Every structure is written in C-alpha cells, then in structure tokens.
Amino acid sequence: MSDQGTDKQTDFGYQQVPVGEKAQRVGAVFRSVAARYDAMNDLMSLGLHRLWKRQTVAMARLRPGQRVLDLAAGTGDLSRLMADRVGSEGLVVMTDVNDAMLARGRSRMLDEGRVGNLQYALVNAETLPFPDRHFDRVTIGFGLRNVTDKHRALREMHRVLKPGGFALVLEFSRLYLKPLQPLYDTYSFQVLPRMGRLVAGDAESYRYLAESIRMHPDQETLRDMMQDAGMEDCDYTNLIGGVVAIHRGYRY
C-alpha cells in the first residue's frame, strides 16, 4: 500500500501532516542541522554510528568494478567507504533529496581528494532517475524513516538492482531489551533535544528525529515491506539490542 494521496495524512514525527508537506518539513530539518550534522552524529551515538556504517559496508561484500547507489547519502560516510572498495573501475552514485546535505557531502569528498569513482545526484528515493537493473548494490543509511512513501522507495530500490544484487537498509529500529526502554526514552526525548540546542542551535529538529525513530516500522515489519517490494531472502541484523538494525534484501 502506498502512503501517497492528495488528501491523506502521514507522520512527521508524532504529528500527522498532509502527505505533500512531509518532504518540505523534512527538508527544513536537514537544512537546519546540515552544518553540525557530523558533529552531532558523533556526539549522539558516542561515535558508534561509524562502527554501524562500517559493518553495513562489510555486509555489502563489494568487489572492484561494481556500481553502487547510495540513497540519503548525507555527508557521505557510507559512500566514501564503498568508493574505496569498488576502486577506480567501480562507481558510487551519492544521492540525497536535500541540497544542503548533498552539497556538504560533495564538498567533503572533494576536500579529501576523492574523485573519479564518485558521482552526485539530487534524487528523491521514491522516483529514482536510473534505469532498471543498473546497480549491484543499493544502500540507504538512516534515511528511510524520513521518506514519505517507504513502500514506493523500496520498490524503486528493487527496480534498479541488478539480478544477484541486494539492498541494505541501515536504520534505527525497535529496542528489544525492554528493561532499557525508560532509559532510552529519557535519552531520546530529553537529552537529544538539549544536545541539539547546545551544539546545533536547534532542539526541535532533534526532537523530530527522536520521534521519527519511534514511528519507523520495527524489524519484522520492515523485512515484510522489503519482501512486498519484490526483494527475496530478506533478513536483518540487530545492533546494540535492536536500537539499530541492518536489513538486507536480494533481487534474483
């Protein structure tokens, strides 16, 4: 089932907003936090996000010469790791729907001297401007929960995969260590907004990000959504008690 519709509502954190407004609101959030995005990621996760991303890239099993689509690439943490693995004969297409985030990511790659096997595109994950069966891998890291129509985005990811390729979704998920839930809630809804205010000058954006995590489908639901989108052998790996999960789905 699609989330789209002219008179339908969708979630923006805990709020319900018209479907057509969510992309604009999400865009405003990320334009607000773009300048301090990397610093906040390190602070919020105590640096663990870098380990999660490295594990995702390890699970991608990339080989030199392969072609990868990185959706919601942000400032390029996954893209830079994958570009190293596909080598000079391969290609990573680094995309984001938000121009401010993509610009920061592109500037970062150029500052590091990463050229030749990286391309950039301002792309909505729900309507990918790429041919069918074009990529060996498709990745999206901490971006799917911000997509308005997740079903459509997953179908598009499946469409652009080559047979034998697979998609990886790294995303916050559902904590299964229930005794830790009160502590996790306190951190999410009290500590994170305060960090956002102090470091990024924006408490509300980080309150939205915490709410969006709670509204995102749990592990089994997302696995089923990937299967409904046409992917096969879908599975997931929980990290730190299910706070984060890496989902994988193949195209055969």
Mean pLDDT of the chain: 94
Instruction: Provide the token pair at 231.
Output: 């992917």
CA distance 203 to 95: 26
Examine the pLDDT at 124 and tell me if it is beyond 80: yes
> What integer is the mean pLDDT of 157-161?
98
Residue carrying structure tokens 């909505």:
124
Supply the DSSP symbol for 238. E
> What integer is the mean pLDDT of 131-145?
98
Examine the pLDDT at 47 and tell me if it is beyond 80: yes
> What integer is the mean pLDDT of 155-165?
98
From residue 75, alpha-carbon distances to 5, 100, 108, 229 in Å are: 31, 10, 7, 28
**pLDDT tens readout for residues 164-195:** 999 999 999 999 999 999 999 999 999 999 99
Q: Which CATH architecture has domain 9-176+207-250?
A: 3-Layer(aba) Sandwich (3.40)
**pLDDT tens readout for residues 213-252:** 999 999 999 999 999 999 999 999 999 999 999 999 999 9
Q: What is the pLDDT of residue 45?
A: 94
> What integer is the mean pLDDT of 105-109?
96
> What integer is the mean pLDDT of 67-81?
97
CA distance 80 to 224: 30
CA distance 45 to 19: 30
Q: What burial class does residue 226 get, using C-beta atoms within 10 Å of its C-beta: 0-12 exposed, 13-18 middle, 19+ buried?
A: buried
Q: What is the pLDDT of residue 7?
A: 63
111: left (phi over 0), alpha (psi -120 to 50) or beta: alpha
Q: What is the pLDDT of residue 166?
A: 98
